[in-house]
Structure 1
Amino acid sequence: MNRRTPYLAATLSFGLIALLPATASAEIIPGGSRGESKPSAERNGHTLTSRISYSGSTKGTSGKSSGGFAPTGNWTPPACWYEPRSPAEFKKSVEDMYTTTVNTPGQHSYAKTAAGQYRDMYKDGKYKNYNLDKADEGAFWVSVQDEDRWDEPGAWSCSELPFWVEKGKAPQVKNSVTPEVLAQLAYNQVDVPKTEVSLAPAGNTKVNLPTWAWLDEATFKPVSVTASLDAGGVSLRSTVTATPVSLHIKPGTKDATLHPGSGECAFRGGHIGTPYAKGDADKTPSCGVTYLRSSGNGSYALQATLTWNVTWTGTGGAGGTLPTGTFGTTQNITVQEIQAINR
């Protein structure tokens, strides 16, 4: 299998080996392939993975993961970013990469040359022995990719070679980790409950009979994720909080009347809609739909999409808002004609 590391891909992209064929960067060393699902530094010792950790309502922790919470519009969290490493940590990663490259049987000579040139920059070039004598003065900042998004073009846009930043100074490159960037990365880890609304009647209803819709107040409440980074002498925290604000209903057919007419049911008093109670059959629900035509032998796909407002707070009193997120599900509704008997 052809594999690459982010470091060598960046090295080649900057023309250190300008005459290499375009396929060279895909054949450097074992350790992580573009398109491979989850490369692991812990597994192979060569591919850098992020030092950022996440806690709270993260994907997979609730047992009822949405798997589809997504920002509105065209914005997406970064697929790659820069974070710090101490000189000793950086030296180990480069030396491990170099050793593996030159000792891999059948490795191309240009791959070995590239690895050697890359190593020389930090060992005997500009930085002199990886700046080990300046360990208390700063850190190397390196590019890291979202392990779940390696197949996206944006994952390869952080093409700056590892660079030195003095302690107390901010890196002057896009997507270097700040409290805000950390919040954006936490956004991508938020897990929200599946948007399955309670319906009355449930699943089967009648033409011209209001169908009530509501959400369980205990389930749909604000959720938070905290992202933390402690590496290279840098310590940052950011917490993202998603708060449900409205539910939008699409009945799955034009032959229906929405309640309210916009189909947008807002949160009021901590809940959306009003649970159906015995004796409410003739009332108009605060959130729901009345179907005007039978679904025949099939059903209508009622789509319920919940919108969440997203805010964040971070180290040093930083904070703000991020794009709203949505998650929707579809429920099949069978609508029958009301049968009347003439005597």
Structure 2
Amino acid sequence: MPVSRSGRTLLDAAALALAFGIVALAAPAYAGESPGFGDGGTTEQSGGGDSTGIYAAAKIQYSGSVAKNGSTGNVSSSDVNWTPPSCWYAPYLGAKDFKKKMTEDFEKAKNTPGMNGTAGAATAEEQRHYEDGFGWTDTPGYKDYNVDKDGEGMFWAGVENPNEPDALKRMACSDLPFWVENGEAPPAQYEEAIKPEILAALAYQHMELPDTEVTLAPKAVTKVNLATWAWLDKATFNEVQATAAINVPGFNIQATTTAKPVALKIEPGTEDAQTYPASGECTINADGSIGEPWAKGKSDETPPCGLKYLRSSGDGTYKLRATITWDIAWTGTGGTGGDLPNGTFGTTQDITVQEIQAVNR
């Protein structure tokens, strides 16, 4: 008698440690990160690290301003409740390659000590699922691994996000590999199936924002009670893009995440300071710059963006932190798109503050 998908998931969980770990059954559920190139190049996130290359179809290709070697970028979300996807389902193998892989894994399972009881029964049920058409309420089985449909679709499987620190979240996409016809969307019950929205969030996670140093006048050494002007020129303050894409036969999607600078927040590194404006948050100007460059004759003016230290830094320095807020949005395949939480990235500069020496005659 067919059981529900939830029942099948519970049954399958008993065999995960053995079937997925020891014999590598449906290995994409435990994906790794393959080496990439540097900034402005590409990096790939794949469904496994098998030397035969049979996982190549599940790779996500990243390009644009992304972190090296597939690592997390330097942008932080301003929304503490927002997180990138922990796992997803992606194209895995064609029917014939899938049959070869699964047949080998089932054979290994039969010869693995301890394959009895619940784990052994679950593995045998999985074999019936792909070979004899054994299915569940919302998941039909397959006859001979769908080899008569080879080239007409692919089996999809779970992929872990290697940058997710929570192991349980990474393993949430633990359903058995399922078939998707070329040009068709995955079944609705697989909410974590890869789509432009997920690619956009992953591009966000891998995005590398530029190390922008705020221009100061005076630059690194200032005086007590002397206004310091701060600004960012438009030329060094441009938008940044990162793209994530999957391209396999019958399935090609991509999403580009764009970050545009919108504000600068100045934190003097001490309470003995005054910021301009009082909030320390300088908004972007109409021409795309922030603040206003200092020029001769402005020494007695209040800067639109800047600060004033009220006490000397003594023999040390103050750590001035300049944090840029980036407005982040995305566009993707099929006219999709939307907004993502603002991102922030800050840099620190050492500031020496000296006392003004006065001489009385």
1:168 equivalent in structure 2: 184
Does the aligned pair in 2 maintain the 1:80–1:175 contact within 8 Å?
A: yes
**Partners of 2:7 and 2:236 in 1: how far apart?**
49
Seen in structure 2, the aligned counterparts of structure 1 residues 107 and 66 have a Cα distance that, compared at 3 Å, is closer
Query: What is the root-mean-square deviation of aligned Cα atoms in Å?
Result: 3.5
Residue type of the alignment partner of 2:303? P
1:262 equivalent in structure 2: 279
Does the aligned pair in 1 maintain the 2:47–2:159 contact within 8 Å?
A: no
Does the aligned pair in 2 maintain the 1:66–1:193 contact within 8 Å?
A: no
For residue 236 of structure 2, give the secondary structure of its aligned residue in structure 1: coil
Matched, 1:15 2:11: yes
For residue 234 of structure 2, give the secondary structure of its aligned residue in structure 1: coil
Seen in structure 2, the aligned counterparts of structure 1 residues 26 and 159 have a Cα distance that, compared at 3 Å, is closer
Query: Which of residues 65, 69, 83 in structure 1 aligns to 2:75?
Result: 69
Seen in structure 2, the aligned counterparts of structure 1 residues 88 and 16 have a Cα distance that, compared at 3 Å, is same
Cα offset for 1:17?
Answer: 7.0
Residue type of the alignment partner of 1:69? V
Seen in structure 2, the aligned counterparts of structure 1 residues 92 and 333 have a Cα distance that, compared at 3 Å, is farther
Residues 1-343 of structure 1 correspond to what in structure 2 (within 5 A)? Answer: 14-16=10-12, 18=14, 24=18, 28-29=22-23, 41-45=48-52, 50-60=58-68, 67-73=73-79, 74-85=81-92, 86-98=94-106, 108-109=114-115, 117-125=125-133, 126-135=141-150, 137-149=152-164, 151-166=166-181, 167-172=183-188, 173-231=190-248, 233-268=250-285, 269-343=287-361
Does the aligned pair in 2 maintain the 1:35–1:151 contact within 8 Å?
A: no
Seen in structure 2, the aligned counterparts of structure 1 residues 101 and 198 have a Cα distance that, compared at 3 Å, is farther
User: Normalized against structure 1, the TM-score is what?
Assistant: 0.81
Q: How many residues align?
A: 327
**Partners of 1:51 and 1:178 in 2: how far apart?**
14
Does the aligned pair in 2 maintain the 1:183–1:312 contact within 8 Å?
A: yes
User: Normalized against structure 2, the TM-score is what?
Assistant: 0.77
Instruction: String of CA shifts for 1:202-225, please: whole Å, max 9, x gaps.
Output: 222111111122224323211112
Note the residue ranges of structure 2 that are not aligned, 5 or more in a row. Answer: 1-5, 35-45, 134-140
Does the aligned pair in 2 maintain the 1:48–1:144 contact within 8 Å?
A: no
For residue 15 of structure 1, give the secondary structure of its aligned residue in structure 2: helix
**Partners of 2:241 and 2:171 in 1: how far apart?**
29
Residue type of the alignment partner of 1:244? P
Cα offset for 1:332?
Answer: 2.3
